Amino acid sequence: MIVARLLASTGDPLGPVDQDPDAVREEACKLVSSNPSVCSPPKPPPSKSGDGSGFDLSFVSMLLWVLLVVAVLALLYLLVRWVATARGGGRRRRDEVSDEAADDDIVERDAVAIDRSREPTNWRSDADEHRRAGRYRDALRCRYRALVGELARRGLIDEIPGRTTGEERAQLRRVTPSASEQFDSAADLFDAAWYGDDEVGAADDDRFQWLEQRVLAATAEVRR
Protein backbone atom coordinates (compact mmCIF):
# COMPACT_ATOMS: atom_id res chain seq x y z
CA MET A 1 0.00 0.00 0.00
CA ILE A 2 2.83 2.35 0.84
CA VAL A 3 4.57 1.34 -2.36
CA ALA A 4 1.42 2.10 -4.35
CA ARG A 5 1.15 5.47 -2.68
CA LEU A 6 4.76 6.23 -3.49
CA LEU A 7 4.23 5.21 -7.10
CA ALA A 8 1.07 7.26 -7.37
CA SER A 9 2.82 10.37 -6.11
CA THR A 10 5.30 10.24 -8.96
CA GLY A 11 2.65 10.57 -11.68
CA ASP A 12 4.74 8.64 -14.15
CA PRO A 13 5.93 5.30 -12.79
CA LEU A 14 8.61 5.15 -15.44
CA GLY A 15 9.83 8.72 -15.05
CA PRO A 16 12.38 10.10 -12.63
CA VAL A 17 11.48 10.10 -8.96
CA ASP A 18 12.77 12.10 -5.99
CA GLN A 19 12.59 9.24 -3.52
CA ASP A 20 15.73 7.95 -1.76
CA PRO A 21 16.29 4.35 -2.85
CA ASP A 22 17.58 3.45 0.58
CA ALA A 23 14.45 4.81 2.20
CA VAL A 24 12.23 2.91 -0.22
CA ARG A 25 14.25 -0.26 0.40
CA GLU A 26 13.93 0.20 4.14
CA GLU A 27 10.15 0.71 3.95
CA ALA A 28 9.77 -2.36 1.77
CA CYS A 29 11.87 -4.40 4.19
CA LYS A 30 9.66 -3.38 7.06
CA LEU A 31 6.60 -4.63 5.17
CA VAL A 32 7.98 -8.09 4.64
CA SER A 33 10.07 -8.54 7.79
CA SER A 34 8.81 -9.35 11.25
CA ASN A 35 11.81 -7.59 12.85
CA PRO A 36 11.99 -3.99 11.63
CA SER A 37 15.43 -3.47 13.22
CA VAL A 38 17.09 -5.60 10.56
CA CYS A 39 16.02 -3.17 7.87
CA SER A 40 18.23 -0.31 9.16
CA PRO A 41 21.84 -0.32 7.98
CA PRO A 42 24.26 -1.32 10.75
CA LYS A 43 25.98 1.53 12.48
CA PRO A 44 29.76 1.53 12.25
CA PRO A 45 31.49 0.46 15.46
CA PRO A 46 32.80 3.36 17.55
CA SER A 47 36.48 4.06 17.08
CA LYS A 48 38.54 3.17 20.11
CA SER A 49 41.08 5.86 19.43
CA GLY A 50 38.92 8.40 17.67
CA ASP A 51 41.03 10.09 15.05
CA GLY A 52 44.28 8.89 16.69
CA SER A 53 45.14 12.22 18.32
CA GLY A 54 43.96 11.19 21.79
CA PHE A 55 46.32 8.22 21.94
CA ASP A 56 49.26 10.24 20.67
CA LEU A 57 48.70 13.06 23.14
CA SER A 58 48.45 10.72 26.11
CA PHE A 59 51.61 8.91 25.07
CA VAL A 60 53.55 12.15 24.60
CA SER A 61 52.31 13.43 27.95
CA MET A 62 53.39 10.26 29.70
CA LEU A 63 56.78 10.41 27.98
CA LEU A 64 57.29 14.01 29.08
CA TRP A 65 56.48 13.12 32.68
CA VAL A 66 58.96 10.25 32.59
CA LEU A 67 61.66 12.53 31.20
CA LEU A 68 60.91 15.14 33.86
CA VAL A 69 61.22 12.59 36.67
CA VAL A 70 64.49 11.27 35.22
CA ALA A 71 65.88 14.81 34.96
CA VAL A 72 64.97 15.60 38.58
CA LEU A 73 66.57 12.37 39.80
CA ALA A 74 69.71 13.10 37.78
CA LEU A 75 69.96 16.59 39.28
CA LEU A 76 69.55 15.19 42.79
CA TYR A 77 72.25 12.61 42.12
CA LEU A 78 74.65 15.25 40.82
CA LEU A 79 73.92 17.47 43.81
CA VAL A 80 74.63 14.65 46.27
CA ARG A 81 77.86 13.79 44.43
CA TRP A 82 78.96 17.42 44.46
CA VAL A 83 78.33 17.78 48.21
CA ALA A 84 80.15 14.52 48.93
CA THR A 85 83.07 15.55 46.72
CA ALA A 86 83.28 18.99 48.34
CA ARG A 87 83.38 17.49 51.83
CA GLY A 88 85.86 14.82 50.81
CA GLY A 89 88.01 17.44 49.08
CA GLY A 90 88.07 19.52 52.25
CA ARG A 91 89.20 16.52 54.27
CA ARG A 92 91.81 15.64 51.66
CA ARG A 93 93.11 19.21 51.65
CA ARG A 94 93.41 19.17 55.43
CA ASP A 95 95.20 15.82 55.28
CA GLU A 96 97.49 17.09 52.54
CA VAL A 97 98.33 20.17 54.60
CA SER A 98 99.14 17.95 57.57
CA ASP A 99 101.23 15.66 55.38
CA GLU A 100 103.06 18.63 53.89
CA ALA A 101 103.79 19.98 57.35
CA ALA A 102 105.13 16.58 58.38
CA ASP A 103 107.20 16.42 55.20
CA ASP A 104 108.59 19.89 55.93
CA ASP A 105 109.71 18.67 59.35
CA ILE A 106 111.40 15.64 57.79
CA VAL A 107 113.15 17.78 55.20
CA GLU A 108 114.28 20.22 57.85
CA ARG A 109 115.63 17.38 59.97
CA ASP A 110 117.39 15.60 57.12
CA ALA A 111 118.32 18.12 54.42
CA VAL A 112 120.91 20.19 56.28
CA ALA A 113 124.24 21.69 55.28
CA ILE A 114 127.26 19.65 56.36
CA ASP A 115 130.86 20.82 56.28
CA ARG A 116 132.79 17.80 54.98
CA SER A 117 136.17 19.54 55.17
CA ARG A 118 136.58 18.38 58.78
CA GLU A 119 134.79 15.64 60.67
CA PRO A 120 133.71 15.88 64.34
CA THR A 121 136.39 13.36 65.31
CA ASN A 122 139.04 15.70 63.91
CA TRP A 123 137.68 18.62 65.93
CA ARG A 124 137.69 16.53 69.10
CA SER A 125 141.27 15.42 68.49
CA ASP A 126 142.26 19.08 68.14
CA ALA A 127 140.34 19.91 71.34
CA ASP A 128 142.18 17.22 73.30
CA GLU A 129 145.48 18.48 71.99
CA HIS A 130 144.65 22.07 73.01
CA ARG A 131 143.57 20.88 76.45
CA ARG A 132 146.84 19.02 77.00
CA ALA A 133 148.66 22.20 76.04
CA GLY A 134 146.53 24.27 78.44
CA ARG A 135 144.77 26.17 75.64
CA TYR A 136 141.26 25.74 77.05
CA ARG A 137 139.77 28.55 75.02
CA ASP A 138 140.83 26.84 71.78
CA ALA A 139 139.70 23.51 73.21
CA LEU A 140 136.16 24.87 73.79
CA ARG A 141 136.06 26.27 70.27
CA CYS A 142 137.00 22.91 68.77
CA ARG A 143 134.54 21.02 70.97
CA TYR A 144 131.71 23.33 69.94
CA ARG A 145 132.55 22.79 66.27
CA ALA A 146 132.56 19.04 66.87
CA LEU A 147 129.13 19.23 68.53
CA VAL A 148 127.61 21.26 65.68
CA GLY A 149 129.10 18.84 63.13
CA GLU A 150 127.63 15.86 64.99
CA LEU A 151 124.16 17.45 65.08
CA ALA A 152 124.38 18.27 61.38
CA ARG A 153 125.17 14.65 60.55
CA ARG A 154 122.07 13.67 62.50
CA GLY A 155 120.03 15.95 60.23
CA LEU A 156 119.17 18.46 62.97
CA ILE A 157 121.00 21.73 62.27
CA ASP A 158 123.11 23.23 59.49
CA GLU A 159 126.88 23.17 59.80
CA ILE A 160 127.91 26.43 58.16
CA PRO A 161 131.25 28.03 59.12
CA GLY A 162 130.72 31.56 60.41
CA ARG A 163 127.13 30.95 61.44
CA THR A 164 126.12 32.47 64.78
CA THR A 165 125.21 30.40 67.80
CA GLY A 166 121.86 32.20 67.91
CA GLU A 167 120.87 30.73 64.55
CA GLU A 168 121.98 27.28 65.63
CA ARG A 169 120.11 27.53 68.93
CA ALA A 170 116.90 28.56 67.17
CA GLN A 171 117.13 25.74 64.62
CA LEU A 172 117.76 23.04 67.21
CA ARG A 173 115.00 24.39 69.45
CA ARG A 174 112.58 24.08 66.56
CA VAL A 175 113.43 20.49 65.60
CA THR A 176 114.53 19.04 68.96
CA PRO A 177 113.15 21.05 71.90
CA SER A 178 114.25 18.42 74.43
CA ALA A 179 117.93 19.09 73.70
CA SER A 180 117.74 22.87 73.41
CA GLU A 181 118.39 23.69 77.07
CA GLN A 182 121.68 21.77 77.27
CA PHE A 183 122.72 23.07 73.86
CA ASP A 184 122.04 26.66 74.95
CA SER A 185 124.29 26.17 77.98
CA ALA A 186 127.05 24.72 75.81
CA ALA A 187 126.69 27.62 73.37
CA ASP A 188 126.92 30.08 76.28
CA LEU A 189 130.24 28.54 77.32
CA PHE A 190 131.52 28.82 73.75
CA ASP A 191 130.39 32.45 73.39
CA ALA A 192 131.95 33.43 76.72
CA ALA A 193 135.22 31.67 75.88
CA TRP A 194 135.56 32.82 72.30
CA TYR A 195 133.99 36.28 72.28
CA GLY A 196 134.40 37.29 75.93
CA ASP A 197 137.37 38.11 78.10
CA ASP A 198 136.50 35.59 80.81
CA GLU A 199 139.17 33.24 82.00
CA VAL A 200 138.66 29.71 80.65
CA GLY A 201 139.94 26.73 82.59
CA ALA A 202 139.77 22.96 82.72
CA ALA A 203 136.47 23.11 84.64
CA ASP A 204 134.85 24.94 81.73
CA ASP A 205 136.12 22.33 79.31
CA ASP A 206 134.84 19.55 81.58
CA ARG A 207 131.42 21.17 81.84
CA PHE A 208 131.21 21.58 78.08
CA GLN A 209 131.97 17.90 77.55
CA TRP A 210 129.24 16.97 80.05
CA LEU A 211 126.72 19.22 78.26
CA GLU A 212 127.80 17.78 74.92
CA GLN A 213 127.02 14.27 76.12
CA ARG A 214 123.57 15.38 77.34
CA VAL A 215 122.77 17.03 73.99
CA LEU A 216 123.84 14.02 71.96
CA ALA A 217 121.89 11.67 74.24
CA ALA A 218 118.72 13.77 73.91
CA THR A 219 118.97 13.95 70.12
CA ALA A 220 119.64 10.22 69.91
CA GLU A 221 116.40 9.56 71.81
CA VAL A 222 114.48 11.74 69.36
CA ARG A 223 115.92 9.97 66.33
CA ARG A 224 114.64 6.63 67.63
pTM over 0.85: no
Q: Which distant-in-sequence residues (6+ apart) come within 8 Å of 120 by Cβ?
A: 145, 146, 147, 149, 150, 153
Mean pLDDT value across residues 112-119? 91
Residue 189, pLDDT score: 93
* pLDDT over 70 at 128, yes or no: yes
User: CA 72, CA 209: separation in Å to the nearest integer?
Assistant: 78
Element (DSSP H or E) covering residue 40: none
Angle at 183 (CA atoms; ends 179, 189), nearest 5 degrees:
160
pLDDT of residue 209: 96
- Decide if pLDDT at 98 tops 70: no
Section 50-77 average pLDDT: 79
**Mean pLDDT confidence for 147-165:** 93
For the residues 100-108, what does the mean pLDDT come to?
46
Identify the weakest region by mean pLDDT among 52-56, 129-133, 155-159.
Answer: 52-56
pLDDT on residue 17: 58
